[in-house]
Structures are given as structure tokens and as C-alpha cells.
Amino acid sequence: MASPAWQPPHRLQPPPPAQLDLTDELLEEVFVRLPTAADLARASTACASFRRLITGHAFLRRFRRLHPPPVLGILAEGFLAAQPPHPSAAAARALADPDAADFSCSFLPSRDRWCLRHFSDGRYLLSAIPERSDPAPDHRALVREFAVCDPLYRRYLLLPPIPDDLASVVNQSEIVNFEPFLCPATEDEEDTMFRVICLAQCEAKLVAFTYSRCSGQWHAVEFDGWRDLTRGTSNPFPSGEPELSGRYYAHGCFCWVMHWVNKLLVLDARSFEFSSIDLPPGPSSRRMVIVEALEGKLGLFTLCNDNALYYFLWYDILENDDEGALQWCMKEIIPLHENFNYNILGVAGGYLLLQGTFKLEWFCGTTYAIISPDMYAGG
């Protein structure tokens, strides 16, 4: 009897890999780590479930908190687009196309009776110009009519005027500075929501008029500690200038530097409560800017110079000490390029914008114009 043919040993097939159940929570953690909004847009085209998650308001708010929008240009008598080699140059060039956006807000009815007051989150805030008045904004006038415009989509909203009973809280003759500005939507609000704040600074009081797109109504909040805060100054309003200088938004709070009392005035945009914080000691002529530091803290950049020869940035963070008291802690000193005079222009999209000016030296003078001259150097 013939022996059976040899058979190779039976190999067990490996079990199929377990299917990973990608829940919405896991997908959100993946998508929120994409580096740019363009990557996020491409991911949303993969399938309907991806698009549903990515276009959700809650996810978009989280993504924007972690990925600030890129700085595309400067608004100065129109839109000045970022130029190469800046990474935003391509997107900025497209936005500079007159067909892409109308930064003059020509679509607003009676455009000539409005003047620009603030720009934030892609929106313009404009205030009405009283009849037979200078088209430039009067920073001491109590303005009551406002419009909010979207230059990209050419949309606008006319706000109801500040009611008489609220406007009567301040005396027009006592206003030192009237400052209207936009307030971004909070984490709990839809992106279409916004608020308008008008800060009326008077010699004896400080009042914030607030308008909410959600409620459609105006309210007024007064800072009870304003008189005590400015009482100790020998000259709280030098040359008629307002006490507050600059305005910065960081972690849901608006901040103003008060040089003459070395304080930082803070308005919490969520609770609409005022408070003040001591600034680090230093000369009143220094230039400062408030930024968002990590873990919800406030950061402070101070532009300093050494005998007008060398400029540097001093970076502090507001932290709690061992006893729980707030104090500014120095984190870094950043030297700047020599032979420039510097100025702080502003903060946006995680960038601190500095202006550097070359030092000039007189060479010669003529009584006639010189076009395209050649420079000569020799012995």
C-alpha cells in the first residue's frame, strides 16, 4: 500500500485586524491638529461625516482658538497685502483683488455719512457722522449710531441708536475720549454673533455702553473705582490727552495701559467687570503691548532702548506668586537689529508688528531735482 503524499503543515491564518471605531471625539482630536485651515477644508471633502464634524460651530471655535488666522495685510487707506516671501502673500494677493472684497464699504447706504472706527474678526465698525460735521471722527463726541459691515461678503447691519436714558449717564461736556470698538464672540456664542462696546472716558467717571447682537439691546456699565484710580496722579490728563492709551484684547479681556498711574485697566468681556493691575516699574515713555500668553495668562512686551542706540523687547507674564498675588515675571529679553529706530504698531494673529526706521545722515542739498542719480565712490 502506497504511503500518502506529503502535505505541508497547515498554517493558521492570522485573525483579521480589529476595526478601529473612530468616534466623533477621536476624529475631532485628529482634525484639530491639522496645521492649516486649507488642510481642514480638504479633509472635509473626504466624506459627509467628516464634513458634518468639521463644519460644526463648536469644532470650528476650538480650531480657531488653537490656530489663529494668518495676518494677510495692513488696513491703511485700503488694504495693503502681505508680500513675498511672507507665507501669507498668496492668500493676501487674492484678497487684494477688488472683486474679492470691498474694504471701502461702498455698499453701505449713504456711505459718505459713516467713518471707520474699528476692524476685528473680518468686520468693520463705523459710526455716523453728524450733519455739517468734519468727516474725521470726533473722539470727544458721544456718538449714538453705528453700522457693522462685512467687506468680504458685502453685508451690513445698522444698529439701533444708544437710547436716551443710557446716553444721559455721561455729560457730553465732560467726555475726554469716546472709544467704540468690536468685541469678538465668546466661546459659547455662534460666529455670527458679535458685540459693540463704546468706552466713554470722563474726568470723573468711566462708562462702557455695550450692544449685543444676540439680544439686540444696549446696556451701560460704570467703573466704580475710576475716580480713586486717577485721584493720586498730579496731572491725570496732561495736555488734555486721555488717561488710557492703546487697547489690546487677550483671553476674553480688553486691556488699556495707564502710563500716568502705572496701571493696566482690564475689562472682562464675558462679565463686563472692570479691574486694574499694577504694571512693572519703568519710565512713563516706554511703549507696551499686551498679548495672549499660554495657559490663559496675560503677556506684556515692552519696547526699550539703551541710550537710543540699542533696542530690545522685554517680555513678562502675569502669574500668581506663592501667596496667590498677581505679579509680572520676566521671561525673556529679545535684542533687536541695530541701527533702527523701532515702534510697536500692533498685534494680530499671534504676530507682534514692529516698525523699524533707518537712521538718516545729511549728505548734500541742491536747488533742482535729481532723477535716478548714480553714486560715486573713489579716491
Question: Between residues 206 and 59, which one has the greater pLDDT?
Answer: 206
pLDDT band of 379, cuts 50, 70, 90: very low
Q: Are strands 155-158 and 146-150 parallel, antiparallel or unpaired?
A: antiparallel
Q: How far apart are CA 92 and CA 101, in angstroms?
A: 11
Neighbours of 199 (CB within 10 A): 23
What is the enclosing helix (H) or strand (E) of 25? helix 24-31
**What does the block give as the cell for 259?**
502710563
pLDDT the model gives residue 222 = 94
Residue 366 has a pLDDT of 64
What's the number of CA atoms in the CB half-sphere (13 Å) around residue 292? 16
Summarised one tens digit per residue, pLDDT across range 292-320 is 998 889 999 999 887 666 888 999 999 98
Task: Please give the distance of CA 157 from its chain centroid, rounded to a whole number.
Answer: 22
* Alpha-carbon span 54 to 58, nearest angstrom: 9
Residue 254 has pLDDT above 90, yes or no: yes
Instruction: Give CA separation, 331 vs 29, 281, 288, 310, 323, in Å.
Output: 31, 16, 15, 20, 20
CA distances from 239 to 19, 54, 176, 204, 297 (A): 73, 53, 11, 17, 34
- Per-range mean pLDDT, top range of 213-222, 230-239, 369-378: 213-222
pTM of the predicted protein model:
0.73
- Output phi, psi for 155, to 5 deg: -120, 155
What are the boundaries of each domain within the chain?
Answer: 24-63, 280-372
- The pLDDT assigned to 323 comes to 80
- pLDDT mean over 144-164: 93
pLDDT (average), residues 355-366: 67
Q: How confident is the model at residue 277 (pLDDT cuts 50, 70, 90)?
A: very high
Strands 263-268 and 253-258: antiparallel
Of 5 and 80, more confident: 80
pLDDT at 238 over 60: no
Range with top average pLDDT, 15-19, 80-84, 207-211: 207-211
Mean pLDDT of 244-249: 86
% of the chain residues with pLDDT over 90 = 29
pLDDT band per the 50, 70, 90 thresholds, residue 376:
very low
CA–CA separation, 283 vs 26, rounded Å? 51
Res 378 pLDDT > 50? no
All cell numbers assigned to 299: 503677556
Contact 37, 67 (CB under 8 A): yes
Closest CA to 306 of 268, 281, 333: 333
Residue 266 host element (H or E): strand 263-268
Q: Which three cell numbers stand for residue 286?
A: 516706554
In terms of Cα–Cα distance, which of 267, 264, 268, 311 is closest to 289? 264
Least confident of 32-41, 188-197, 347-356, 360-369: 360-369
